[in-house]
Structure 1
Amino acid sequence: MLYGSCSHPLASVFLMLSCVRRFISSSSTVPSRLMDAASGRPVEASIRTKLAQAFGPDHLEVLNESHMHAVPPGSESHFRVLVVSSRFEGLSLLQRHRLVNETLSHELSTSVHALAIQAKTPQQWSSDPSLAKSPPCLGGSKHDSTVAQKLKTGLD
């Protein structure tokens, strides 16, 4: 629903939130948890907040890719993250991924079924500022009983 051209009493609020969301997603220095809390996406907000606090990233992207998988609409179970941080300097790719996984251990043990990670140094990001694309879902999660359980429990 577009609120910019509607006379709904909250239209200006929704339009303002949309503008703030665009600003937040383009700037890693603004605490995006303020916007995400209002949007009703607690898992995404938690991921974004924890990664921002742990890595002080130059660039951070958190994408909910759940809609691409065999899960109910509105799910927060499949994510792709891009973290660009100087904390990754001198670390192997495996060490970087372990740090991200440790940071998000609660989400991975409760609500997140899949997490794709790109962990780059600022130098790597400047030479290749792109986010990899996920392959199409082959439906494997509909046979994984832990997905259904995680979707029921969500964040504690």
Structure 2
Amino acid sequence: MRIQAIIEDKLQALEPTFMTVENESHRHNVPANSETHFKVTLVSSRFEGMMPVKRHQQIYALLADELAGPVHALALHPYTAAEWAARGEARPNSPNCRGGGAS
């Protein structure tokens, strides 16, 4: 099973109303077809009343095995439904890689 699919499967535990898991490895200096850099945008009612750091900790706990192994970088964008609506349901852009040219 591909790493992206594993991440998507594990994050279902947060009962997302919206979720994207984007493999951004191609934007970094890694071999072709790598699965090392991901951006997660996730909207869940489970984040209500929770500070951002606690939201991140929940996601890190779910993905502990992946973060201990193949995943080098994980950009997290967790929102409540109201926060997501206030953003106009727009995913944040990722910065360009600063660790070298993309391959």
1:111 partnered with 2:73: no
Q: 2:81 & 2:99 partners in 1: Cα distance?
A: 35
Structure 1 counterpart of 2:49:
90
Structure 2 counterpart of 1:57:
16
Q: Secondary structure at the match of 1:47?
A: helix
Structure 1 counterpart of 2:5:
45
Structure 2 counterpart of 1:137:
97
Moved over 2 A (4+): none
Post-superposition CA distance 1:94-122 (Å, at most 9, x none): 00000011111110001000000000001
Q: Secondary structure at the match of 2:42?
A: strand
State how many pairs are aligned: 99
Q: Secondary structure at the match of 1:95?
A: helix
Q: 1:119 & 1:86 partners in 2: Cα distance?
A: 10
**Highest Rg: 1 or 2?**
1
Unmatched 5+ stretches in structure 2: none
Post-superposition offset of 1:69: 0.2
Q: 1:122 & 1:132 partners in 2: Cα distance?
A: 15
Flag the structure with higher strand content: 2
Post-superposition offset of 1:138: 1.5
Structure 2 counterpart of 1:20:
none
Structure 2 counterpart of 1:77:
36
Instruction: Please give the TM-score of this superposition, normalised by the length of structure 1.
Output: 0.62
Post-superposition offset of 1:134: 1.1
